[in-house]
Amino acid sequence: MKIGVLGTGAAGQTVAAKFVALGHDVMMGARAADNDKVLGFASRTGGKAGTFADAAAHGDMVFNCTRGDTSLAALSGLSQQLEGKILVDVANPLDFSSGFPPHLTVSNTDSLAEQIQRALPKTFVVKSLNTVNAAVMIEPARVPGRHTVFVSGNDQHSKGKVQDFLRSLGWQSIIDLGDITSARAAEQLLPLWVRLYGVLGTADFNIAVMKP
C-alpha cells in the first residue's frame, strides 16, 4: 500500500520504518523537503522523502505524526491531497510550555481529531495509536498480554481498514469507541499516560480493557 507519514519525530520515524519493512511504499513528509530527518529516513530505509504535501499526495492511507499543538497548521492547505483518503491521527494535543506534566490544548467538549475532521471534511479521519508509545504502536508484543488500542471516526469502512492495518502490526485487542467525538476520550487518556510513564520509568506499557 502507498502510505504517507506526516512527521519526522520519534513517532513518524518509528512507524514509517516499520511500514517500509512490511513492504509498503512509504513517503515521509516534513515542512521542508531538505529536512535532515526526512532525508535520513530515506537513506536509512529506502523509503521516500518529501514535504507534508508530497507525502499526503503519495499515500492512500496517511498518518498524522506531527506535534499535536501544530497539527492543524501542518495539515492546513492539504485538503486537496487528502481528499477521499484515510488520515490516521496519531497526534496528541499536548502543550509542554509550562513544563511537566503537559496539558491538553483541547479537551472535554472537543478534540484535536475533531478539529482536523472539521478542517478536512472530505477526509476520513480515524484517531488511533495515540495512547501508546511509538515502539509499542508497531510492536504491541513489547507489552505482554492482550492490551488495547482504540479507533474513533465517523466512517465505518475507514475504521475497518484501519483495524485491518492495525492487525497487520500485531494488534489483537482493538476497540471501536465510536464516531470522531469519541477521540476526546482517547486524547484525554494522555494525562494518565504521562503520569504512568513518570511512575513506571518505561514507555513499554499499555492499558488492557477486560470484560467477562
Ligand X SMILES: NC(=O)c1ccc[n+]([C@@H]2O[C@H](COP(=O)([O-])OP(=O)(O)OC[C@H]3O[C@@H](n4cnc5c(N)ncnc54)[C@H](OP(=O)(O)O)[C@@H]3O)[C@@H](O)[C@H]2O)c1
Q: Which residues bind ligand X (CB under 6 A)?
A: 7-12, 30-31, 35, 37, 65-68, 70, 73-74, 90-92, 94, 130, 133-134
For the bound state, the minimum distance from the C-beta of residue 76 to ligand X, rounded and expressed in Å, comes to 9
SS (H, E, C) 17-32: HHHHHCCCEEEEEECC
For the bound state, the minimum distance from the C-beta of residue 142 to ligand X, rounded and expressed in Å, comes to 12
Of the pair 9, 145, the CB lying nearest ligand X is at 9
- Among the listed residues 35, 43, 50, 44, the one whose alpha carbon sits nearest the alpha carbon of residue 3: 50
All 3 cell numbers of residue 39?
532525508
Of the pair 157, 195, the CB lying nearest ligand X is at 195
4-15 burial, b at 16+ Cβ within 10 Å, e below that, comes to bbbbbeebbbbb
For the bound state, the minimum distance from the C-beta of residue 4 to ligand X, rounded and expressed in Å, comes to 12
For the bound state, the minimum distance from the C-beta of residue 69 to ligand X, rounded and expressed in Å, comes to 8
Of the pair 129, 159, the CB lying nearest ligand X is at 129
Nearest-CB residue to ligand X?
9
**Is the sign of the CA dihedral 110, 68, 171, 195 positive or negative?**
negative
Rg (CA), the chain: 16
Of the pair 38, 159, the CB lying nearest ligand X is at 38
